[in-house]
Chain A
Amino acid sequence: NFMLTQPHSVSESPGKTVTISCTGSSGSIVNNYVQWYQQRPGSAPTTVIYEDKQRPSGVPDRFSGSIDSPSNSASLTISGLKTEDEADYYCQSYDSSNGNWVFGGGTKLTVL
């Protein structure tokens, strides 16, 4: 089965830039869109990136998404980190082989 692997945790200082990776286990991650969700403690997830690199209205341009074909991975980059960015981040994509949606295991971002 298709799986998405994320680092368990990352940390960075306010004002800096952090990148969270999401690596596909097989096939090509470019075949289907990747989404990124932010989940603050005690809250429901919200979308920060959809269709690989699109930002919903209201999401600051400090958030950006990209795809790297050679490494079969997607990345979420957050620049100018703020303490409010501290949250869990999940990537998601579609497994065309079985019609299932797949989430990564989540990455806890600490801004300290």
Chain B
Amino acid sequence: QVTLKESGPVLVKPTETLTLTCTVSGFSLSNARVGVSWIRQPPGKALEWLAHIFSNDEESYSTSLKSRLTISKDTSKSQVVLTMTNMDPVDTATYYCARIKALAGNDYWGQGTLVTVSS
């Protein structure tokens, strides 16, 4: 049974760095052509893709947010970590991690974690 679960702070202050962890089970981060994406959704708005990382360590970032994002993985811990620097209130959103299979999109999603940016 494939599951993903996001964890991290619920509240961050403006200018701080957000660190989110996605812990996966039911598959290995070393499986070929499999990876993990981070996707966010501001309240009442659409989904926005942020980044992904594949088993071969191939990384890709949203063009508009690339300067603020870093994604990494620890295969032994079955975890993928996303950091986003210089947080702003407009970054308030539910952040999801989801498994990705090659170019076939995201097949399993975590429950999401709401992050609020406020002083």
- State whether A103 touches B107 (Cβ < 8 A): no
**A50 x B107 contact (CB < 8 A):** yes
Task: Count A/B pairs, Cβ under 8 Å.
Answer: 57
Decide: A44 and B110 in contact? CB cutoff 8 A.
yes
B98 to chain A, nearest CB (A): 8
Chain A hits for B104, CB < 8 A: 33, 35, 50-51
How long is the Cα–Cα vector from A10 to B95 in the complex, in angstroms? Answer: 27
* Interface stretch (choices B10-18, B43-51, B79-87): B43-51
Besides A35-B105, A47-B106, 10 other A-B contacts (C-beta < 8 A)? A33-B103, A33-B105, A35-B104, A44-B111, A45-B98, A51-B105, A100-B60, A101-B52, A102-B49, A106-B47
Interface residues, chain A, with chain B CB atoms under 8 Å away: 1, 32-33, 35, 37, 44-47, 50-51, 56, 90, 92, 94, 98-106
